[in-house]
Structure 1
Amino acid sequence: MIQVVQAFDRAPIAEVPADDAAALERKLAAATRAMRDRDGWPKPHRRIAILRRAAELLEERQARFALLIAREGGKPLTDATVEVVRAVDGLRNAADEIRNFAGKEIPMGLTPASDGRWAFTTKEPIGVVAAISAFNHPLNLIVHQVAPAVAVGCPVIVKPATTTPLSCLELVALLREAGLDEPWCQTLVTDDNALAEALATDPRVAFLSFIGSARVGWHLRSKLPPGTRCALEHGGAAPVIVDRSAAIERIIEPIAKGGYYHAGQVCVSVQRIFVHAEILDAFTERFAARVAQLRVGDPILPETEVGPLILPRETERVASWIEEATARGARLLGGGRLSETTLVPGIVLDPPADAKLSQLEVFGPVTCIYGFTEMDAAIGIANSLPHAFQAAVFSRDIGPALRAAQRLDASAVMINDHTAFRTDWMPFAGRRHSGYGVGGIPWTMEEMAEDKMIVLRQEG
């Protein structure tokens, strides 16, 4: 059994049966049989109906799912409610995309050798999908992996994070209630890393969707059998460039939200803030004042803005990174510990370039502020890490904004918005160490499908 506890106070919530190797084999066999039975593939209209019904059911149970997210994952209830709303929209997005998910005509007759032919492509499901997910969005990440698979027609086996399996289990039950047969969406609940790797690397799996640490993701990719495709979503240390023309009174709130949303446990959370020297002091003063006002505590309380980290060891790690930076001359504003898993939001001023806070993803309620005089120099530092995901620039002048947008090494650059902005239908992808492939529901559907070309030759 796996005991699930509240992230905030470690109080038990539930015990969930753990799957073993025999269970994994049964689930892989069932998914493989479903995939091989082409006559049994659910028709597009059926997949649309299931996803739309699932969205309706989830919307009806919004309050229940939001509380579950807040309890098992520690996300403040207001943000957990937003996550459920996004998940409902994600299911509808996947259903809507089916209407436009199609192949195209390939022109023929362009050469004498291709004359007398008509060619077009169709879309087919790639095969069995293994989805390994993370704790920080325990419902919406599952939707991002499962809904595209259902929409395309791939059987999917989803392994939720051991710390947050309940939202996943309830969503899969909800899909079954909406009419999806069991082999098309199954769960693997385990804290056995070897068993999770066996799922990801089984030759019957055609596509691996992984959301989690770079270390684990790249390891799994190196173990995939020939022909298995994958998408990896890791993290980064998202940079923000604050130009001298930025309106300080307008940018404090979005940067604070981007840095401390879900206690910084977001793969594109604001981490490194580069501020022009002309406004550095004014920005730091206003930003520190806002961060000090953030309400920290029990995530199920409606007033809470910053909740706990997922595990006690994560608070120890983040605290040690802060201590390393301050011992080497950086200055800490705020910070401290509220409970075993809860840290008070902090700001670290000018941590050394080789400090962990400057080099690695902190995944905690900490941001770093650095001053600069030349934007290109700040961009160079921002681009110097081996990972790159989303970035942001704040400026009232179009020239510096576009210059930063063009030069920042990121898959997406937000102008006058924080790095953690995302809609679930936009492409979402890490560069270099930060990931492989493209997320976002329509984009994931493309990755989980294969084109088949059909060529008809005219007789006579």
Structure 2
Amino acid sequence: MTKVALRAGSTEEFRELRSPYGGEVIAEVEQADAALVDRVLARQTALFADRAQRLPHHERAAILRRAARLAESRLEDLALQVAREGGKPLTDARAEVARGVNGLELAAEEGIRIAGHEVPMRGTAAAAGRLAFTTREPRGLVAAVSAFNHPFNLVVHQVAPAVAAGCPVTIKPASATPLSCHALVDLLLEAGLPEDWAVVLPMPGRVAESLVTDPRIAFFSFIGSGEVGWGLRRKVADGVRCAMEHGGAAPLIVDEGADLEALVPKIVKGGYYHAGQVCVSVQRVFALRSVADELVERVRAEVAGLVTGDPTEAATQVGPLIEQGEADRVHEWVQEAVAAGARLVEGGQPMDNQCYAPTLLVDAPADTKVRTMEVFGPVMNISSVDTLDAAIAAANDVPFSFQASICTADVNRAMYAATRIDANAVMINDHTAFRVDWMPFGGRKVSGLGLGGIPHTLEEMTAEKLIVLPAP
């Protein structure tokens, strides 16, 4: 069993970390307290104030590139760690770490490219004889709170832009998955990042609140539940910029004439990837009646063939839920839907080791939890609708607004739906969980605030400064 100590200072308070599959203790992780948080922020404040200690852009980029090469050389070990601590199937964990490698490279390139612009001064006599332009500067200290479901790549999305921007960052990893966060920051330090520019502090929630509400923080990055995130945002100090990524209940519309043979494997992957523990997982499918029966049968056949079990086994496609309580909650929601009239066509039962059988429901009533809330489990519901407008109305009938999909053979109907679905991003003929790490990614309404994606996060972590000077 591994004992993971804090680099930033010792508290000698350790928390057992258990694997979600099997429950064995895989590590003891030292926990920060409020006094250590205060000492770290004091050191980072002094570090940021001393311009002589700031790294130039090209050195930050070189560190990020070296960290990417180190991560690439240890990809298999990092992926196995993701699978063991988070329960993500090994095949998907490998893909996550590979994305993290790309994210480090992307942050290096974007950190060099980010720039201001010339401000035209030709419009009035008062402006004449001046040259004006903007530059971009790091905002200051970053506090980042991360989530368990992508324990390596999500941390890359929060830490790598901070490094590229020149902002000291303190990150609280998810309590269930701190090892991948430690591993990433260790890679950055090995690659040459000086101590205190990136600090990992696992900590209980009450201590995390003292971090994110500290007035020395300039930027707060949060990935996790809306209840926690919005609650913390209400308590941050005046002037703190925030980026918040919460959950969703992603809708996918299947129109008449959609290519079901090509579409169904994508739907199933988008719905059951990481046991549905993805904020943009396919959850609510609205199918036109002419295709609904065939869609249900094709999806059912695919779901029945999914391999559920040990995430460290190469053949596993669906792993455990992160906690037993989550598996119990998912089962309660499925039972509620069935009792209310939903048809259970596949799954619907708990399994050993915190797993839940991949589940397909049909026509769950509109007021059930699987239709109105984020399941965050391996459950999908397919509902029949009469018209495309009815599908759009049903898709929009929740407080969430994140990613969505419209699947159709008609480009005009695709664009009609895409412009009317309430979402920050709409995929056409693909599942709702598609993402690459340079695209804008974020939710509207209760689903979030601001935009993720490495270039967008880097821009948010820097501030534009206007400089005006006389010019002949």
TM-score scaled by structure 1? 0.99
The whole-number CA distance in structure 2 between the counterparts of 1:402 and 1:118 is 43
Match of 2:259 in 1: 247
Match of 1:9 in 2: 22
Matched, 1:90 2:96: no
Partner SS state of residue 419, structure 2: helix
Match of 1:219 in 2: 231
Match of 2:334 in 1: 322
Residue 340 of structure 1 and its aligned partner are, at CA, apart by 3.9
Partner SS state of residue 454, structure 1: strand
The whole-number CA distance in structure 2 between the counterparts of 1:26 and 1:18 is 14
The whole-number CA distance in structure 1 between the counterparts of 2:343 and 2:400 is 25
Matched, 1:386 2:399: yes
The whole-number CA distance in structure 1 between the counterparts of 2:66 and 2:257 is 49
Structure 2 counterpart of 1:60, from 73, 82, 100:
73
The whole-number CA distance in structure 1 between the counterparts of 2:340 and 2:294 is 24
* Paired AA for residue 88 in structure 1: V
Matched, 1:306 2:302: no
- For residues 12-63 of structure 1, the C-alpha deviation after alignment (integer angstroms, 9 at most, x for no partner) is 1110111111111111111111111112111011101100000000000000
- For residues 238-297 of structure 1, the C-alpha deviation after alignment (integer angstroms, 9 at most, x for no partner) is 000000110111111000000000000000000000011011111101110100000110
Moved over 6 A (4+): none
Deviates more, 1:360-369 or 1:398-407: 398-407
The whole-number CA distance in structure 2 between the counterparts of 1:301 and 1:142 is 25
- For residues 392-445 of structure 1, the C-alpha deviation after alignment (integer angstroms, 9 at most, x for no partner) is 011111122111111111000000110000000000010100000000000000
Partner SS state of residue 323, structure 1: helix
Match of 2:113 in 1: 100
The whole-number CA distance in structure 2 between the counterparts of 1:13 and 1:102 is 44
Match of 1:432 in 2: 445
Determine if contact 1:315/1:340 at 8 Å carries over to the other structure.
no
Determine if contact 2:441/2:452 at 8 Å carries over to the other structure.
yes
Match of 1:193 in 2: 205
The whole-number CA distance in structure 2 between the counterparts of 1:375 and 1:334 is 26
The whole-number CA distance in structure 2 between the counterparts of 1:414 and 1:313 is 32
Deviates more, 1:354-363 or 1:105-114: 105-114
The whole-number CA distance in structure 2 between the counterparts of 1:225 and 1:159 is 18
Partner SS state of residue 113, structure 2: coil
Structure 2 counterpart of 1:230, from 207, 218, 242:
242
The whole-number CA distance in structure 1 between the counterparts of 2:430 and 2:175 is 33
Match of 2:8 in 1: none
Matched, 1:288 2:270: no
Structure 1 counterpart of 2:135, from 102, 106, 122:
122
The equivalences for 1:405-444 within 5 A come to 405-444=418-457
The equivalences for 1:344-359 within 5 A come to 344-359=357-372
Long gaps (5+) in structure 1: none
The whole-number CA distance in structure 2 between the counterparts of 1:143 and 1:333 is 39
The whole-number CA distance in structure 1 between the counterparts of 2:165 and 2:408 is 41
Match of 1:451 in 2: 464
Match of 2:173 in 1: 160
* Paired AA for residue 57 in structure 1: L
The whole-number CA distance in structure 2 between the counterparts of 1:256 and 1:221 is 35
Partner SS state of residue 384, structure 1: coil
TM-score scaled by structure 2? 0.96
Match of 1:260 in 2: 272
Determine if contact 2:15/2:29 at 8 Å carries over to the other structure.
yes
Deviates more, 1:253-262 or 1:97-106: 97-106
How many residue pairs get matched?
A: 458
* Paired AA for residue 254 in structure 1: K
The whole-number CA distance in structure 2 between the counterparts of 1:220 and 1:157 is 16
Deviates more, 1:243-252 or 1:81-90: 243-252
Q: Over aligned residue pairs, what C-alpha RMSD do you find? A: 0.8
The whole-number CA distance in structure 2 between the counterparts of 1:181 and 1:40 is 9
* Paired AA for residue 189 in structure 1: P
Deviates more, 1:68-77 or 1:96-105: 96-105
